[in-house]
Structure 1
Amino acid sequence: MPKQKPIPPEDLIIPPQDNRICGSICVFQMTAVLSSVALVYLTVAVYMPTLRAFQSGVSEIPAMCTTTRVYKNDECVWVTCGEWCLSKSSGACEQIFVNLRYNGSELIFENCTNTANKTCYGIDQENAKKSRCIVDECKNLTGTFNCTKGTCINITDAFECVFKDTELPLKCSGRRGKITCIEMDGLQSCNRGTCEKIKTPYNCDRRCVDIPTRNKNVIILSGDKVYLSQCQRAIATIPDEEPKTVWTEDDDNILVASCYTIKNTTQGVIATDCINGSLLSKEFLTDLANFTYLTYLSVVNTVLLDPERKIAPPEADLLIANESRLHINMEGCVNTLSDECKEFFREYGKDGTDHNARARFPCFYAESDPNKVMARFDLEGTYRHFLVASILPSILFVVSCVMLVFCQKTVEVGDDAKMRFKGCAGSDLILGPGDKSVSANNLGDGGGGDSVMAL
């Protein structure tokens, strides 16, 4: 097929336009539309939540929360964490309940030597091997298993359970084994596929033994970790008061406490949010101890660290509310769409049912409603986001609208269907070598002249 001959510009039905003018108008129109849509969306996503945050009365000074239970509700009135704030669902969801309390004490341990750290790992629920009875994976179970609706995890290597009574055995092997055990739930003692549910009361001790307690006079528990050392003194830092020594090695006893964080600094070992401080006689410990026994000692409070119950007091003295509802933030949802809620439940949903330490974390609440707490609350950051979300799209919207009005007033379409700025009619006289143009002086002579300006 022969190559098509190009059509001269003067023979086109619509002559070529000024690309700069057309492009600028398109950009301004697109910016005006997108910024207006952003303002509407940000009203729900940023502006209204910011207003609610400043009117909520929530204190910026965090308290402390401990997860008590995670409840799977089929019909949720409130949610702990939702993945998209604009489409909050009322269906099934997971809800986290916590105990809310005041902060504990900050203790500084000086001149500590002979230090030992021990981490007692439990069962990693996410990565542990799971046996599903519905696919006939429970027919050879042997040991102690923690089962949830027919899905069992082996906890034999991590815990040693002592119990008295069990329910009638279920045979998970054989032709109907997977049907028999499809709803198996709770703690099970199994032997070659025959499982018996362990009745309460029972005691499961974590197999974390051989913790060296010899020549240690300070024992600090933090979640699944144990810090042991031989220190010279313990100093309590109290707000608006001078630091004071609350314990020395001359007391010839053992200080046991449960703290949120433990940091080794140049000032000494700093432990924050310490509660259940106890002074124990050295007779309570031998050369070695297990994790369960140390946890028990931290709760018993044989002799309080402070008779006035102000320094590392019992947890019950600091309690504000039981069974408070936990939300990830004021709205109970996030807009990142990156499975953020999944990570949130993994970190904050540790309620101790898997025999691991319960989640313990700073949280925020309003004194008028202590039954609702938030894991994230930052008024300063919320205000910064509000400024960016309001100023940037507003400026873009105003500038784009002003430029569109400017184009409307200054751009015209001539008789040749070509856009140009007003007052720039002579710009079309600038031609290339050999081109011709009708003189502007001859445009109004009634067409009687044929004067041509050759450039």
Structure 2
Amino acid sequence: MGKPVPVEDLVIPPQDGRICGTICICQMTAVLSSVALVYLTVAIYMPSTRAFQSGISEVPAMCTTIRATNADNCDWGSCGEWCLSKTSGPCVQIHVNLRRNGSSILLANCTNTTNKTCYGIDQENAKKSKCIADECRNLTGTFNCTAGVCINITDAFECVFHDTDPPLKCSGRRGKITCIDIDGLFNCNRGTCAKIRTPYNCDRRCVDIPTRNKNVILLSGDKVYLSSCESAIDTESEKEIWNESRGDVMMASCYGIYNTSLGVEAVDCINGSVLEKDMLTDLTNFTYLSYLNIFATKPLDDTRKVTPPEIDLIIANESRLLINLEGCVNTLRDECKFFLLEYGKDGSDHNARARFPCYYAEGKTSVVVSRFNLNSTYKEFLVAFLLPSILFVVSCLTLILCQRTVVVGDDAKMRFKGTPGAALAALALEKSASGNLADAGGGDSVMAL
């Protein structure tokens, strides 16, 4: 280990750590806050300004996904992972129909309740057969194929059809080439697959739904709620719209069904109808209930104001769905992946379509967003603007203060003006200057000789 260098021999002597630390921290803070202001201009300030000027109502309407497509070259996408890069290349475009909210009803004194969930095919976790990998050579059953990737739906759906296209042989040497891009619904037998022509009907294998001694049936996506209730009340008008003394069965399609202290509350209910009890047997299936919900001819409310038909509430038949006004997020946490999985359910896989609250502007129904909260946007704007701005101003003022109050003496040390060290350094500087001036005029100086 080398011998330590004496302090007086150092080229740069030890400095006051508080002064150096303050200057370094302020410089770093000024740089980072200025960079943050530039970045937040694109990420927060401009989107917030557009949100304030958008005219979108904070009262949500309801949307139902009608189509989700994968576009190769798109000028807009429902969700992008990084707002600073413009959407390019392939993307997912979700189209929805937009309608007003349905009714909220309260079911009183319900007993003998049954909840039935009719599971379809989980597209993410289902086993997929890739024809290009020669995995379609032994397919048997009913398969839903997309771009040469087939999913077996035999156990979940029973499809009835009348005609098919000429069969394709997916086995053998050229089988994987023959079926490399098959698309649609196929009926397969040992690798020989024939595309099912429209019209066809695929019923979900959700049977044995008990309807005996039930007078209320509510559908909510893939779920069925059945119960025996005394009455149903419209929560907005607080009027009774149905009671068990009528002797019929009330049916509706609702967005959500919740147990509360007052009873069972169902929100956003549409297509309300009443069924005669002889239309139901002791057990039924999901397909038949879905059919009754749409095509039942006797409305629950003759004025069509409570649980009205969906067609009476339609605002726009087709609108573009964006995750927010920008159509993108900056979190880089795979938000778009989960967004597309949840909101991209268009019923093409024979599961229930996505149904969710959405927001739109009057007079501009071509675009709707799933996330919109002006209060949250305002708070984010204030925090994103005030925090870096205050840090930038404070750090700059501190640096200016240091410039005016810190001096560097002949010993190369930084000191605050007014301290004893600073006064001695200034006095030494004055003496040195006066001595140099005296020497320049001659006298006893050796240099004058």
Q: Same fold (TM over 0.5)?
A: yes
Which of 289, 299, 307 is residue 302 of structure 2 equivalent to? 307
SS in 1 for 2:84: helix
Structure 1 partner of 2:24? 26
SS in 1 for 2:33: helix
Deviation sequence 1:225-259 (CA, Å, 0-9, x none):
00000111110122xxx310111111111111000
Structure 1 partner of 2:244? 249
Please report how far the alpha carbon of residue 219 of structure 1 lies from its aligned counterpart in structure 2 after TM superposition: 0.2
Equivalent pair of 1:324/1:371 in contact (CA under 8 Å): yes
Structure 1 partner of 2:311? 316
Structure 1 partner of 2:192? 194
Which of 38, 41, 58 is residue 40 of structure 1 equivalent to? 38
Structure 1 partner of 2:11? 13
Please report how far the alpha carbon of residue 265 of structure 1 lies from its aligned counterpart in structure 2 after TM superposition: 1.3
Separation in structure 2 between the aligned mates of residue 440 and residue 190 of structure 1, nearest angstrom: 101
Structure 1 partner of 2:102? 104
Separation in structure 2 between the aligned mates of residue 49 and residue 426 of structure 1, nearest angstrom: 54
SS in 1 for 2:197: coil
Please report how far the alpha carbon of residue 72 of structure 1 lies from its aligned counterpart in structure 2 after TM superposition: 1.3
Equivalent pair of 1:67/1:351 in contact (CA under 8 Å): yes
Which has the higher mean CA deviation after the structures are superposed, 23-32 or 410-419? 410-419
Structure 2 partner of 1:419? 414
Structure 1 partner of 2:354? 359
Structure 1 partner of 2:116? 118
Deviation sequence 1:66-92 (CA, Å, 0-9, x none):
000001112211111010111122322
Please tell me whether residue 50 in structure 1 is matched to residue 38 in structure 2: no
Equivalent pair of 1:301/1:314 in contact (CA under 8 Å): no
List gaps (5 residues or longer) in structure 2.
437-449
Please report how far the alpha carbon of residue 424 of structure 1 lies from its aligned counterpart in structure 2 after TM superposition: 1.6
SS in 1 for 2:307: coil
Task: Give the residue type in structure 1 aligned to 2:365.
Answer: P
Structure 2 partner of 1:64? 62
Task: Give the residue type in structure 2 aligned to 1:32.
Answer: A
Which of 329, 335, 347 is residue 340 of structure 1 equivalent to? 335
Please report how far the alpha carbon of residue 428 of structure 1 lies from its aligned counterpart in structure 2 after TM superposition: 10
Deviation sequence 1:109-162 (CA, Å, 0-9, x none):
111111101000000000001000011110010110000011000000000000
Equivalent pair of 1:145/1:156 in contact (CA under 8 Å): yes
Deviation sequence 1:267-319 (CA, Å, 0-9, x none):
11100000000111111100000000000101113200111110111100000
Deviation sequence 1:172-195 (CA, Å, 0-9, x none):
111111111101110010111110
Q: Report matched runs for 1:71-82 at 5 Å.
A: 71-82=69-80
Deviation sequence 1:396-415 (CA, Å, 0-9, x none):
01100110000000111111
Structure 2 partner of 1:453? none
Task: Give the residue type in structure 1 aligned to 2:75.
Answer: V
Task: Give the residue type in structure 1 aligned to 2:58.
Answer: E
Please report how far the alpha carbon of residue 217 of structure 1 lies from its aligned counterpart in structure 2 after TM superposition: 0.6
Q: Report matched runs for 1:27-426 at 5 Å.
A: 27-238=25-236, 242-426=237-421
Equivalent pair of 2:416/2:422 in contact (CA under 8 Å): no
Structure 2 partner of 1:452? none
Equivalent pair of 1:220/1:228 in contact (CA under 8 Å): yes
Separation in structure 1 between the aligned mates of residue 123 and residue 421 of structure 2, nearest angstrom: 78
Please report how far the alpha carbon of residue 440 of structure 1 lies from its aligned counterpart in structure 2 after TM superposition: 7.4
SS in 1 for 2:194: strand
Separation in structure 1 between the aligned mates of residue 428 and residue 329 of structure 2, nearest angstrom: 65
Equivalent pair of 1:141/1:194 in contact (CA under 8 Å): yes
Separation in structure 2 between the aligned mates of residue 37 and residue 215 of structure 1, nearest angstrom: 68
SS in 2 for 1:309: coil
Task: Give the residue type in structure 2 aligned to 1:98.
Answer: V
Separation in structure 2 between the aligned mates of residue 88 and residue 425 of structure 1, nearest angstrom: 61
Task: Give the residue type in structure 1 aligned to 2:152.
Answer: N
Task: Give the residue type in structure 1 aligned to 2:360.
Answer: Y
Equivalent pair of 1:411/1:420 in contact (CA under 8 Å): yes
Task: Give the residue type in structure 2 aligned to 1:278.
Answer: S
Count of residue pairs the alignment pairs up: 434
Equivalent pair of 1:216/1:254 in contact (CA under 8 Å): yes
Equivalent pair of 1:85/1:331 in contact (CA under 8 Å): yes
Structure-2 change in CA distance of 1:293 and 1:405 (3 Å) = same
Please report how far the alpha carbon of residue 47 of structure 1 lies from its aligned counterpart in structure 2 after TM superposition: 1.1
Please report how far the alpha carbon of residue 44 of structure 1 lies from its aligned counterpart in structure 2 after TM superposition: 1.2
Please report how far the alpha carbon of residue 442 of structure 1 lies from its aligned counterpart in structure 2 after TM superposition: 12
Q: Superposition RMSD on alpha carbons, in Å?
A: 1.8
SS in 2 for 1:178: helix
List gaps (5 residues or longer) in structure 1.
430-436, 448-455
Separation in structure 2 between the aligned mates of residue 88 and residue 405 of structure 1, nearest angstrom: 40
Please report how far the alpha carbon of residue 426 of structure 1 lies from its aligned counterpart in structure 2 after TM superposition: 2.8
Equivalent pair of 2:415/2:421 in contact (CA under 8 Å): no
TM-score with structure 2 setting the length = 0.94
Task: Give the residue type in structure 2 aligned to 1:395.
Answer: I
Equivalent pair of 1:274/1:312 in contact (CA under 8 Å): yes
| Structure 1 runs (4+) greater than 2 angstroms displaced | 425-429, 439-447
Please report how far the alpha carbon of residue 5 of structure 1 lies from its aligned counterpart in structure 2 after TM superposition: 2.0
Task: Give the residue type in structure 2 aligned to 1:385.
Answer: E
Deviation sequence 1:327-381 (CA, Å, 0-9, x none):
0011111000011000000000000000000000000000120111000000000
TM-score with structure 1 setting the length = 0.93
